[in-house]
A and B are shown apart, each in its own frame.
Chain A
Amino acid sequence: MSEIAWLSATELASAYRTRELSPVTVVEHLLERISGLDARINVFVHLDVEGALRQAKEAETNILARRERGPLHGVPVGIKDIIDVAGLPTTCHSRMLTDNISREDAECVMRLRDAGAIILGKVATHEFAIGGPSFDLPYPPARNPWNPDHHPGGSSSGSGAGLAAGFFPLALGTDTGGSVRNPAGACGVIGLKPTYERVSRKGVFPLSWTLDNVGPMGRRVEDVSLLLDVLTGRERSSPQLDRDITGMRIGFVRRFHEQDYVAGPDTAAALETAASVLAELGAIVTDIELPPLQDFAAVSRTILTSEGWSIHGEAMRAHPQKYGKLSRQRLLVGAFITSENYIRARMLAAKLRQDVDDAFSRVDVLLAANAMNPACRIDDEKAIATNYLQHARAPFNVTGHPALSMMCGLSQQGMPIAMQLIGPRQREDVVFRVAAAYERATDWIAMKPPAFAGSTC
């Protein structure tokens, strides 16, 4: 099989069952590919070659003995480097933690192992999931496989870039203000921020307890759905994925990209086309109003910086030079947020959550922009500041609703454009149903970064 690198997790599992492929063959192939290509995009902070091969051999032995552990048996996964994996470093991409070896698996990693997954290693993040993309950290920033001169989004930057580059079919990211959906959108893959607290955060370095989420990422809707099932220990929801969406009510939140932060023409056009495709598939697409993005953003930033500072303040006072410049600038904000405003932000979050809950009495799913523009150059600080500011992801960290980002277009410069599908709390199933229908109807998800698609190593 020449396309091993692009097989989905479900396709790999199927190929193992028919003995067409073995976990050892797959892992060896991916390690060779990573060895040949990762210097261009800096996905891995720690590639666990020895451990991955050992896990692959165990998986193969168990397959031959008909002892498959679970639905991800023999499937390689990349883990964001703020999530603990026993025996591997958790550096958070920071000088503060270069010698920090994790003693235990995070709960989400334990669940992956129980399902049979192979942990390939730790992948790049923005420092402590907040400071990046940066060039003053102990490891270089991940780059975008669609154009390595451009950023891959963040903070789960290695997770998004590694999926898009064909380094692994599944990854774990975390999402506090959009950090799963930003790289998923920038790199043309799929990322889900689940309902708040649906996936355990035990063993994950925190940034903001009120807003943090662990999120599954993949190249196919079915894979992301499967990974969520594994992470939550719930029954497989994939049967839902085959259902059509005739009659489903989809609310298009135009104000986010038409009024609050005006999207670039390529993004605006891609969103219109996506809405039309969903309507052609039988959904009833109507416009719907939510509060302005700025209201959500103020609440998100106030909570995030306050809680982030409470985590980092002590270390920052003692070792400010060990933090990268962007982390310092962003975390220090929390030192000057008043306690009154932190509490007010928590109250306002409750109000905004109710506003979004109310919207779901009128529609089944929301459609909204992800980023207002495709990923810009990674070395253009000003462009990045704007690019990272103008998005519609933070609202659903504030409200706790599940939100999925998936590709819906390509810019004139050849960079991915993404949309978000948002569901009622605890209803990831309806989000996946719409996403799967869209995936079947379009070719976006099958597209690969040209510079990596032709690479066979």
Chain B
Amino acid sequence: MSSHDTDPARAQKRPDPARAQVEAANLETVFAAFPDDVLMAMEQAVRYNKAISEQKIPKRLLRAIFVPEPNP
């Protein structure tokens, strides 16, 4: 744990995580107009991200240079 993590002043400045995600995605305007839709999407994305990150990728694919298939 770094010293920054225990700095009370810094902790106070930490943004709300949901707001930080909205800002990172440049969705402040959409959030202002449709907050429920944005929050619902964020919750869904958490589920999708988790589902993918928990799946095992075969080592052969991790070592390969991944190139999409050409047109047949």
Chain A residues with a Cβ under 8 A of chain B: 195-198, 210, 294-295, 298-299, 301-302, 305, 316-317, 320-321, 325, 328-338, 340-341, 343-348, 350-351, 400, 426
Contacts and interface: CB of A to CB of B under 8 A. Distances in A.
Contact of B48 (A198, A305, A320): A305
Interface of B: 21, 25-27, 29-30, 33-34, 37-38, 40-42, 44-46, 48-49, 51-53, 55, 57-58, 61-62, 66, 68-69, 71-72
State the main secondary structure of chain B at its contact with A.
helix
B62 to A, nearest CB: 7
Contact of B55 (A198, A329, A332, A348): A348
Contacts of B40: 329, 332
Contact of A341 (B33, B49, B69): B49
State the main secondary structure of chain A at its contact with B.
helix
Given A332-B38, A348-B55, A351-B61, A337 B48 contact: yes
B66 A343 contact: yes
A317 B29 contact: yes
B61 A197 contact: no
Contact of B72 (A198, A294, A332): A198
Given A317-B27, A335-B41, 12 more contacts: A210-B68, A301-B48, A317-B29, A329-B44, A332-B37, A333-B45, A337-B49, A340-B53, A344-B57, A346-B68, A348-B57, A426-B72
Contacts of A336: 21, 25, 41-42, 45-46, 49
A320 B34 contact: yes
Given A198-B72, A210-B68, A332-B41, A320 B30 contact: yes
23 contacts: A294-B51, A298-B51, A298-B55, A305-B48, A320-B34, A328-B30, A329-B37, A329-B40, A332-B41, A333-B45, A333-B48, A336-B46, A337-B48, A341-B48, A341-B53, A344-B55, A344-B57, A347-B61, A348-B55, A350-B61, A351-B57, A351-B58, A400-B69
Closest 9 CB pairs of A and B: A336-B45, A332-B41, A298-B51, A335-B25, A341-B52, A320-B30, A333-B41, A347-B61, A328-B37
Contacts of B71: 197
B72 to A, nearest CB: 6
